[in-house]
Amino acid sequence: MSLDLLVRPRRLRGSTALRALVCESRVETDALIYPLFVQEGEDDTPVGAMPGVLRRSLRSLLQECREVRALGLRAVAVFPCISPEKKDATGSAALDPEGLLPRTLRALKEAVPDLAVIADVALDPYTSHGHDGILDASGQDVANDATVDLLIQQALLEAEAGADVVAPSDMMDGRVGAIRRGLDAAGVSHVPILSYAAKFASAFYGPFREAVGSKTGHNALSKATYQLDPANTHEALRECRLDETEGADILMIKPAGPYLDVIRAVTEHTSLPVAAYQVSGEYAQIHAAARLGWLDYRRTRDESLLAIRRAGARMIFSYFAGEIARERARKT
């Protein structure tokens, strides 16, 4: 039998060529931001739960950055792994101009000048307790305003070391405006702020915390006192609006895959570029299922990124960025 149909949507799906013509979303190589970990010394060490991800020596980081830039990637985000004996309660290593991150930024800008480098602003890689800020006298809370004072100095140090973008990921109130004023007053008004505007208190950060050694451990204080409740969209919009008013240049939602609705809502409420961070746990999930033979690795990986792009993110932080750039270079 044949149906009397004028409209047959399948017509446009009939060939690779037609499907490519009507394709609405693509994950361009230049929309990907590649997060990398750097450590002291000459060795690279693997990160548990993140197959293929390494804590790299400076030399290995520079080599990786040269390679991926040659393949078309435009931006990396660099996270330092500080040895435990350099950590203290106030994260003082964050303000050392000769610290691991400033040295890495300077070396990177010299080695690969046209690769944009994004530097996190937050104290968690440097604090002995793993929180993003310093604790108040009671030890029961992160002290908001005192933390912001330090974040301004940290952001300035990063900008002066060559960071192309500073990215506050700490979720303290008022930090975007304070950092903007601090940078401007110091004559670095050209450095944009990519704000982790809607950063949720997520279980999906687990593997990252192992990578930088920022597990909050036995400390009863929860990051939920500063990061967003995963249940809340309105509150995420409020944070985004505030950061925009305070002078943020790019708004980020994090994690990405489990928060596609938030990405969509934010893109509808702002004219700023929106970024999303496909976090360590999202990466781990795909690898784990693929290892068990339960999911097709590449197809799942590519679909996970496409979904984030479709939801409205202009740029995506993803640990898959390096290998995707490599695969694409092989194909062309």
Instruction: Catalogue the active-site residues.
Output: 199, 254
* φ, ψ of residue 87 in degrees (nearest 5): -90, 145
Residues 211-230 that bind ligand PBG (CB under 6 A): 214
**With CB under 6 A as the contact rule, which of the stretches 51-59, 92-100, 186-194, 208-216 interacts with ligand PBG?**
208-216
Instruction: Decide if 126 contacts 95 (C-beta within 8 A).
Output: no
Among residues 279, 308, 315, 324, which is the contact residue for ligand PBG, using CB under 6 A? 279
Residues 6+ apart with CB under 8 A from 154: 94, 95, 121, 123
208 is a contact residue toward ligand PBG (CB under 6 A)? yes
Cα 65 off chain centre by: 16
Q: Judged by CB, which is closer to ligand PBG: 34, or 205?
A: 205
Radius of gyration of the chain (CA): 21
**x-or-dash pattern for ligand PBG, window 128-147, by CB under 6 A?**
----x---------------
Q: Judged by CB, which is closer to ligand PBG: 23, or 231?
A: 231
Among residues 64, 120, 243, 246, which is the contact residue for ligand PBG, using CB under 6 A? 120
Length of the chain: 332
Q: Which residue has its beta carbon closest to ligand PBG?
A: 208
126 is a contact residue toward ligand PBG (CB under 6 A)? no
Instruction: Decide if 124 contacts 78 (C-beta within 8 A).
Output: no
For residue 255, cis peptide bond before it (omega within 30 degrees of 0): yes
Residues 32-71 that bind ligand PBG (CB under 6 A): none
Distance CA 78, CA 117 (A): 7
124 is a contact residue toward ligand PBG (CB under 6 A)? yes
Residues 6+ apart with CB under 8 A from 213: 81, 82, 84, 87, 125, 130
For the CB of residue 124, give the shortest distance to ligand PBG in the complex, in Å: 5
Q: Judged by CB, which is closer to ligand PBG: 66, or 209?
A: 209
Site size for ligand PBG, by CB under 6 A? 11
**With CB under 6 A as the contact rule, which of the stretches 52-60, 144-152, 207-215, 266-274 interacts with ligand PBG?**
207-215
Q: Residue 62 belongs to what H/E stretch?
A: helix 58-70
Distance CA 223, CA 31 (A): 29
Q: Residue 118 belongs to what H/E stretch?
A: strand 116-121
Among residues 280, 305, 321, 324, which is the contact residue for ligand PBG, using CB under 6 A? 280
Among residues 122, 156, 198, 325, which is the contact residue for ligand PBG, using CB under 6 A? 122
For the CB of residue 330, give the shortest distance to ligand PBG in the complex, in Å: 26
Among residues 66, 103, 106, 209, which is the contact residue for ligand PBG, using CB under 6 A? 209
Paired residues of 317 in beta bridges: 33, 277
Tokens 């695969």 appear where? 327
Cα 94 off chain centre by: 18
Binding site for ligand PBG (CB under 6 A): 120, 122, 124, 132, 169, 205, 208-209, 214, 279-280
